Amino acid sequence: MSEQTKKKIFDNLDVLGAIIMIVALFLGAFYKDDGGAFAATFTYPGYKLIFNSEYMLGTLMIALPLIVLITNYVDGLKKYDKLIKLVLPAITFIFVFVLKGQVGDEVGADTGAKLSMALGGWIYILGNVIGLAAGVAGFFGVNLEKKANELMNKKK
């Protein structure tokens, strides 16, 4: 991989994380049950979180990554860029688990099952961690590319 490509990736980790989060909401199941008393297989797709009026946090799980994506292009948000890219991924990380509890309460009342993360949920968290790492690095002025190169050179 060329140095220019690496630089582009490290400079846009926040955008990459936000895109992964948005795509993960549409990748199959987001939550699944653990079988419970009736061993029923229940899956809850991420897009149902967005378009369900019972879960306002689900709508925010797509809206907040979209805000991270547009901060580079909206002049009014540019002065808060570092703060937005730090706080919004942290909030969505919390929302994943709060929504898991809300959906689980609804499902668990019928089946006695508890929910766990499905593939879409794990991919969302991966994108969230990438975006959060980029946000922390940007907020505190850490050069991730330089740190990664230092770590790679230490191993050799």
pTM assigned to the model: 0.86
Q: How far apart are CA 40 and CA 37, in angstroms?
A: 8
* Both tokens assigned to 116: 């766990």
What is the structure's pLDDT at 135? 93
| Full residue range of the structural domain in which residue 9 is found | 3-155
Q: Any idea what the CATH number is for the domain that residue 92 is in?
A: 1.20.140
Q: What is the pLDDT along the chain (156 residues), one digit of tens a residue?
A: 777 887 888 888 999 999 999 999 998 889 888 765 555 567 888 888 888 777 788 889 999 999 999 998 898 888 899 999 999 999 999 999 998 888 877 766 555 567 888 899 999 999 999 999 999 999 998 888 888 888 888 766
Helix (H, G, I), strand (E, B) or coil at 11: helix
Question: In this structure, are residues 30 and 103 in contact, taking their beta carbons and an 8 Å threshold?
Answer: no
Domain count, the chain: 1
Q: What is the Rg, in whole angstroms, of the alpha carbon atoms belonging to the chain?
A: 18
Nearest to 15, CA basis, from 55, 58, 52, 70: 70
Q: How far apart are CA 31 and CA 105, in angstroms?
A: 13
What is the structure's pLDDT at 24? 94
